[in-house]
Amino acid sequence: MELLLLEFGMKDSIFVGLFIWLLIYVLNTSSRREEKLYGFLNDMKFEFSKLVTSYGSLTEDVTEIRQELHEFKDKK
């Protein structure tokens, strides 16, 4: 299809052909860039979920430490 469009554009003018080639090139480049971006975003989503889990665990640990400190303080 790309070659057909390019041949069609070359019949009219070299500039039309160059425009069609540039358009196809930009579309293909954008498509590859978007695939990379979505892959990166999926990886970040996974890493963020790990951070949320770690944050939950850390919150529980801090709560336990506070309770133990209050219990220790109340014993004195």
Domain boundaries, the chain: 2-75
Is the model's pLDDT at 72 over the cut of 70?
Answer: yes
Give the N- to C-terminal CA distance of the chain in Å, as an integer: 84
- Per-residue tokens: 76: 């004195």
Sorted by sequence, the CB contacts under 8 Å of residue 21 that are 6+ apart come out as 6, 9
Q: How far is CA 40 from each of CA 1, 7, 36, 46, rounded to the nearest angstrom?
A: 31, 37, 6, 10
Tens of pLDDT, residues 17-56: 788 889 999 999 999 999 999 999 999 999 998 888 888 8
Q: What is the pTM of this model?
A: 0.52
What's residue 9's pLDDT?
65
